[in-house]
Amino acid sequence: MASQSDHKATVIDGKFIAQTIRSEIAEEVRQLSEKYGKVPGLAVVIVGNRKDSQSYVGMKRKACAEVGIRSFDMNLPEQISEAELVSKVHELNENPDVHGILVQLPLPKHINEEKVLSEISLAKDVDGFHPLNIGKLAMKDREPLSNPALPRAVLNFYIEVE
């Protein structure tokens, strides 16, 4: 029988790991910039003035700046119509400098989140909230079609320029 002393916890340094990942992404972005004269772009759409959403989006913008990813900020009023928001998403889908799109949730109650998220180009869906991504994630032994935001924007950039 194993004693409690046989089971040792491993303490990990999350800040160090995060910084290592950021450094690796920054190096990839630098190399992409040198090779192609462009950098990956991440569009962040925020609707309204929720303090928690503003803070979270601010952290994403800071992370982009740290690694050299171009941040496209779209701050929209709380009263924007669903049709106007969908139109803005379509503009980002068509923008060749935007390689990833993130719509900050929650959206105001008068906007159907599923409708808006389903309008994001599958290739630019950095949060993986597109219905096809959610569906694949829910299926046994299936991989989602997207990955987390910053690496996803870099990956989409690679795909576009190759």
Task: Answer whether 126's CB lies under 8 Å from 148's CB.
Answer: yes
41-62 residues labelled b (16+ CB within 10 A) or e (exposed): bbbbbbbbeeeebeeebeebbe
Is the bond preceding residue 77 a cis peptide, omega within 30 degrees? Answer: no
Q: Is 31 a catalytic residue?
A: no
Q: Is 4 a catalytic residue?
A: no
5-16 residues labelled b (16+ CB within 10 A) or e (exposed): eeeeeeeeeeee
Instruction: Give the SS3 label for residue 154.
Output: helix
Tokens 């994001």 belong to which residue? 120
Provide the token pair at 15.
């800040």
Catalytic residue among 60, 88, 124, 125: 60
CA angle 116, 127, 25 (to 5 degrees): 140
Q: Is 104 a catalytic residue?
A: yes
Catalytic residue among 88, 104, 124, 125: 104
Catalytic residue among 88, 124, 125, 127: 127
Which residues are identified as catalytic?
60, 104, 127
